[in-house]
Amino acid sequence: MSLTEEMTALAKRARLASRRLASLSTADKNDSLMAMAEAIEANTQRIREENAKDMAAGAESGLAKPMLDRLLLDGPRIEGMATGLREVAALADPVGRVIEERTRPNGLKLSKVAAPIGVIVIIYESRPNVTADAASLCFKSGNATILRGGKEALHSNQAIAKIMVESAAKALPAFPADAIQVVPTTDRAAIPELLSLTNEVDLCIPRGGESLIRAVAECSRVPVIKHYKGVCHVYVDSAAELAMAEEVAFNSKVHRPGVCNAAETLLVDRAIAAEAMPRLAKRLAGAGVALRGDEPTRSLLNGSGIDVTPATETDWDEEYLDLVLSVKVVDGVGGAIEHINTHGSGHTEAIVTGDAAAAKRFQVEVDSSTIFWNASTRFTDGGQFGMGAEIGISTDKIGARGPMGLEELTSYKWLGVADGLVRQ
């Protein structure tokens, strides 16, 4: 069987499974998810053995330590997958919820009702726990999932998906086994083949680095919800309480620097820079953060003992995913807005201020998916938003934007009811 035939057959099976999913009740889906959670826990050793194969191959191939850490499935991470499945089961079923109702003057009753999207391809790297997160969210929202993880996690991904499908089929005889499938080949050519099947695949959601997402978006013939890099900003306004600003900036950068909602640039209002900059820089540098500053920043910190590398123009567009931070002095909230809208990636921004008018202007005029007032950028997360697990964080504007949970994985249909009504 050729690769084209193999991907076509896989997608067709997913399409048939998606239609069967539509008939499952909320109780059916929840029972299946609970069975999956129990099976993940019961098969911890099996999962760890398969993961060990991936870890050994990754180490042999020279995979970097951060990537190996993302690949590792230890006891707590496996338990976390089971917990995530139970959390998804506890969430409200988004399918069938009535979004809007109206009755027309001619008596036609219309309802706008949430419905599954259909077949969703998830393309991701390294982290095999995404297999459980993505599959569970798609399943609960009535969608069939085709999972294409990185080649470095193939054994882990296949084991997790197989355990989920086997356990759900035992708990629910009506469970469509092809509702959760892992692309069985590591051949990169499988991706454009799969994403050319516009009759079978409804949506692709890539998760990973900018190069992966850009490559997927450029080759796909099906719609793609993108999560480009997270160039997130914290702006400290002239009306900020400095103790608060210090905590927000520190948490945004240092709490977990290798994730997309970590701050990559700190902006400080020129009016308070002389007082605020040394304090902020000292706290950040003390945690091992390497600072890259503009000329005013470097001038203010000259003689402080804090090393500041001159920032280049490309630094303002950089997603470091590390203990590195660009720092710039700006002219008030207007300067901050201009900088963010020029260099930001549309992910998450934060303003620290006691001025409600400045905060409102910032939240209205900054063009990003999530904008916080006096809160860390680290809160852009499905769990923190009360969505349970998330499928990703969209920086697109059409369709889902920001953290994507169950509701963002549904479309809708219009249902009309009348009594022999005909159009005149």
Query: Phi and psi at residue 341, in whole multiples of 5°?
Result: -70, -20
Asked whether the beta carbons of 358 and 237 are under 8 A apart, the reply is: yes
Q: Which of 380, 360, 344, 347 shows the shortest CA–CA distance to 267?
A: 344
Cα dihedral 133→223→348→308 (10° resolution): 100
Please tell me the CATH code under which domain 3-226+398-417 is placed.
3.40.605.10
Where along the chain do the CATH 3.40.309.10 domains lie? Answer: 232-379
Residues 6 or more apart in contact with residue 211 via CB below 8 angstroms: none
Encode burial over 286-304: b for 16+ CB neighbours within 10 A, e otherwise: eeebebbbbebbbebbeee
So what's the pLDDT on residue 348? 97
Where along the chain do the CATH 3.40.605.10 domains lie? Answer: 3-226+398-417
Query: Phi and psi at residue 351, in whole multiples of 5°?
Result: -115, 135
Averages of pLDDT over each 10 residues, the chain, 424 residues: 95 97 95 98 97 95 86 94 93 96 97 97 90 95 96 96 97 95 94 97 88 90 89 98 98 92 97 97 97 97 94 96 96 98 96 98 97 97 81 86 92 96 94
So what's the pLDDT on residue 125? 84
Provide the pairing of β-strand 402-404 with 370-373: unpaired
User: Which CATH topology does 232-379 take?
Assistant: Aldehyde Dehydrogenase; Chain A, domain 2 (3.40.309)
As a whole number of angstroms, the distance between CA 173 and CA 169 comes to 5
As a whole number of angstroms, the distance between CA 349 and CA 369 comes to 9
As a whole number of angstroms, the distance between CA 361 and CA 251 comes to 24
So what's the pLDDT on residue 127? 86
So what's the pLDDT on residue 382? 84
So what's the pLDDT on residue 259? 84
So what's the pLDDT on residue 390? 78
